Structure 1
Amino acid sequence: MLKKVLESRMKIRFHDCDPFSHLNNSRYMDYIMTARGDQVQEDYGLDIYKMAKEEGLGWVSAQTQIAYMVPAYLMEEVVIQTQLTAFSGRSLSVEALMWNEDKTVLKALVWIRLVHYQLQMQKSHTHSEALMRLFKQVVSPLKPEMDFETRVKDLKAKVSVL
């Protein structure tokens, strides 16, 4: 049985922070995408870097939405959880949550829509049958009526965002 919610820890580094020792807004996506790439390799055996190199296939970001709840600070250890919330023949929707070390304070919520992409032809590409089987096993859909703002409000009501 494959996990649906993947999790990893990262430490906020000096070169990623602003003068106030907060993680720079633009760097949240770098931390989340790095975590997701490592997680799918560790938990699903899906090496997206090898796939890009050997098959010329990958995913590109088509849309991102982020809600910054509480700053992440220099040298703080954060927990990043990600999950596949939807998929189609050519795209994926991923949700990411960044928490403090003990997962009591939510720092950020991110929604990412990724398009499967053929690098050499520079156009979208259909997911293989093997990928579709994997996605069916691990998808954790949100309620159909859930939009980003509603999800932010829902999470704020449930968890601490000091």
Structure 2
Amino acid sequence: MNLAKTLESKTKIRFQDCDPFNHLNNGKYTDYFMNHREDELIRNYDIDIYKMARLEGKSWVSSSNQIAYLKPALLMETIVIESQLISFDNSNLKVEMRMYNEDKSHLKAVIWCGFVHFNLLTQKRETHSDEMMDLFGAVVNPVDVSIFDERVKQLKTPSKVQ
């Protein structure tokens, strides 16, 4: 089984998500990133977090976000979003997502999202199953820095990006 480690999708910046300057509103960047990740998890790994919550009472909840806004995303612009799992343990995931213009020549934003596996029935942290741990081991795509600001600086200097 050869699973993609970096997931990618395209979308358009919509009017209702923009500020009066026709830029994507800062609060909406996270929505675009999360929508991308949810769709790509289903498409690439057959993981539907909402179905999982409904049937098993387990899913992931956000535990942290670090975001850098580098260039504005503009009204009706087509953007590309990439995401990858950069680390995991028995109950945590860390995902990096990057937003680019359509030809990926300009990085617009970077986010690191932390997620905790959570049991909705007991309202407590949940341990990942062996099956999930195997999947995460197969798709993890770590980056060579552990500090967000260093990663942003690295991404802004393309020749140094892994």
Give TM-score, length-normalised by structure 1. 0.94
Aligned to 1:92: 93
Say yes or no: does 1:158 pair with 2:130: no
RMSD: 1.0
Q: What's 1:82 paired with?
A: 83
Aligned to 1:147: 147
Residue matched to 1:21? 22
Counterpart of 2:126 in structure 1 is 125
Please say if 1:8 is aligned against 2:16.
Answer: no
Residue 138 of structure 1 corresponds to 139
SS of residue paired to 2:8: strand
Task: Compute the displacement of 1:146 (Å).
Answer: 2.9
Distance (whole Å) between structure 2 residues aligned to residue 101 and residue 52 of structure 1 = 34
Name the CA distance, whole Å, in 2 between partners of 1:9 and 1:122.
Answer: 35
Q: Give me the whole-angstrom Cα distance separating, in 1, the residues matched to 2:18 and 2:60.
A: 27
Aligned counterparts of 1:68 and 1:94: Cα–Cα separation in 2:
17
Q: Does 1:58 align with 2:39?
A: no
- Report the Cα distance in structure 1 between the residues aligned to 2:7 and 2:42, rounded to whole angstroms: 11
Tell me the residue number matched to 1:38: 39
Moved more, 88-97 or 150-159: 150-159
Q: 2:81 & 2:60 partners in 1: Cα distance?
A: 20
Runs of at least 5 residues in structure 1 that lack an aligned partner in the other structure: none
Letter in 2 for 1:152: V
Separation in 1 of the partners of 2:20 and 2:96? 29
Q: Which runs of 4+ in 1 moved over 3 A?
A: none
Matched positions, count: 158
Q: For residues 102 and 123 of structure 2, what CA distance do their matches in structure 1 show?
A: 39
- Give the secondary-structure state (helix, strand or coil) at the position aligned to 1:142: coil
CA distance, structure 2, for counterparts of residue 147 and residue 129 of structure 1? 29
**Structure 1 residue 53: Cα displacement:** 1.1
CA shift, 1:158, in A, is 1.5
Identity of aligned residues (%): 52
> What is the TM-score with the length of structure 2 in the denominator?
0.94
Cα deviations across residues 128-152 of structure 1 (Å, max 9, x unaligned)? 1111110000001122x43111111
- SS of the equivalent of 1:26 reads helix
